[in-house]
Amino acid sequence: MYLIASNSLKNIMKQLGLLGYPVSHSHSPEMINNLAIVKKWDCNYRSYAIKSGSLAEFISRVRDLPISGFNVTIPHKQAILNFCDEYSSEVKTIRAANTICNQDGKLIAYNTDVFGFDYGLKELLGTTRSIKNAIIVGAGGAARAAAYSLVKSGCLKLVIASRDNHRKAEWQRDFATLFSETNLSFCLFDELKSENIIQETDLIVQSTPIGMSPNENETVPFPFHQLRSNHLVFDLVYNPETTKFLQLTEQHGAKIQNGLSMLAAQAAKSLGIWGFDIEVHEVVEVLKEQVNKKEKSV
């Protein structure tokens, strides 16, 4: 009797998804549904376009629905923590989550952006360099994951550039312990050009949604002319593949990286949390095929 019940439970299709607003730019639903076909997984992944004002209501419904887990994107990566029951150790430090597991109504928060960022950065760096000085443009959830990753791997000086400094106090409070040996400072976008910040840095991480589809002609204001060939630039945006910011930084000699490998790596890690084990390179292959198909159809 018990065996029949557990087998039938096993056969229930797992419902997964992406919670955010906007979500229409995201490659995740197609990517994960394509992976499910290739790997013969019994799961379905859909988008939940939920504005900030409707987050509480969505979460109260999720607890009772057969949704096994979901990813979280702009603008909910920090707000989602108010609704979760348990937190991974990374989430406790970073105070931002991008992956939620629904265990019979109990919501457990994880952050797989850190793993994704590490993976993308290694691709950009190779194995021979480490980052000692970095600038992160933007101060949201992905910026927090990037900062955590950089500090853990020995970054000694980090500048957070944003449109206003309203997140400064939060960062200083949340990361007091993490940054005990790293010099953390804050500036406005405009101030990047007025000081020697660019010359002193090894890496620039672009973590705002500026330039993301459909706003492909936009870029953060940045002193591109100060870039040199020793600069590394990592734009976390993956749609379009080469943002205007990446085009301009590359034109000024920097070595560039987009967010596609990070997307694949964080997805592999999230899928593992939901019980679907997969290697990052398998996700990369499916994602590349999906992106190539899109490019040919345009």
Q: Does 240 bind ligand NAP (CB under 6 A)?
A: no
Q: How far is the CB of 160 from ligand NAP (least distance, A)?
A: 9
Binding segment for ligand NAP (CB under 6 A), chosen from 1-9, 34-42, 235-243, 271-279, is 235-243
Q: Does 113 bind ligand NAP (CB under 6 A)?
A: yes
Task: Look up residue 219 and give its DSSP letter.
Answer: -
Binding segment for ligand NAP (CB under 6 A), chosen from 71-79, 125-133, 169-177, 275-283, is 71-79
- Catalytic choice (77, 157, 244, 269): 77
Distance of CA 53 to the CA centre of its chain: 22
> Cis before residue 209, ω within 30 degrees of 0?
no
Whole-angstrom distance, CA of residue 49 vs CA of residue 66: 18
Chosen residue from 19, 81, 107, 262 binding ligand NAP by CB under 6 A: 262
Whole-angstrom distance, CA of residue 222 vs CA of residue 203: 14
At residue 139's C-alpha, the angle toward residues 107 and 86, to 5°, is 15
**Closer residue to ligand NAP, CB minimum distance, 167 or 231:** 167
Whole-angstrom distance, CA of residue 23 vs CA of residue 109: 20
Q: Does 291 bind ligand NAP (CB under 6 A)?
A: no
Q: Does 74 bind ligand NAP (CB under 6 A)?
A: yes
**Closer residue to ligand NAP, CB minimum distance, 42 or 214:** 214
Ramachandran area for residue 70 (φ above 0: left; ψ -120 to 50: alpha; else beta): beta
**Closer residue to ligand NAP, CB minimum distance, 101 or 263:** 263
Binding segment for ligand NAP (CB under 6 A), chosen from 1-9, 58-66, 67-75, 249-257, is 67-75
Question: Strands 106-110, 99-103: parallel, antiparallel or unpaired by DSSP?
Answer: antiparallel
Residue with tokens 């970073």: 94
Q: Within a 10 A sphere around the Cβ of 132, how many other Cβ atoms?
A: 16
Residues 188-227 that bind ligand NAP (CB under 6 A): 207-210, 212
Whole-angstrom distance, CA of residue 231 vs CA of residue 253: 8
Residues 27-66 that bind ligand NAP (CB under 6 A): none
**Closer residue to ligand NAP, CB minimum distance, 101 or 236:** 236
Chosen residue from 16, 263, 284, 291 binding ligand NAP by CB under 6 A: 263
Which DSSP string do the residues of 180-193 spell out, in sequence order? TTSEEEEEETTHHH
x-or-dash string of contact with ligand NAP, 81-100, rule CB under 6 A:
--------------------
Chosen residue from 27, 95, 167, 244 binding ligand NAP by CB under 6 A: 167
Burial bucket for residue 173 (CB in 10 Å: 0-12, 13-18, 19+): exposed
Active-site residue 288, yes or no? Answer: no
Task: Output Rg (C-alpha) for the chain, integer angstroms.
Answer: 20
Q: 137 pairs with which residues across the strands?
A: 161, 206
Would you tell me which residues interact with ligand NAP (CB under 6 A)?
Answer: 73-75, 77, 113, 116, 138-143, 162-164, 167, 207-210, 212, 236-238, 259, 262-263, 266
> Hey, which residues are catalytic here?
77
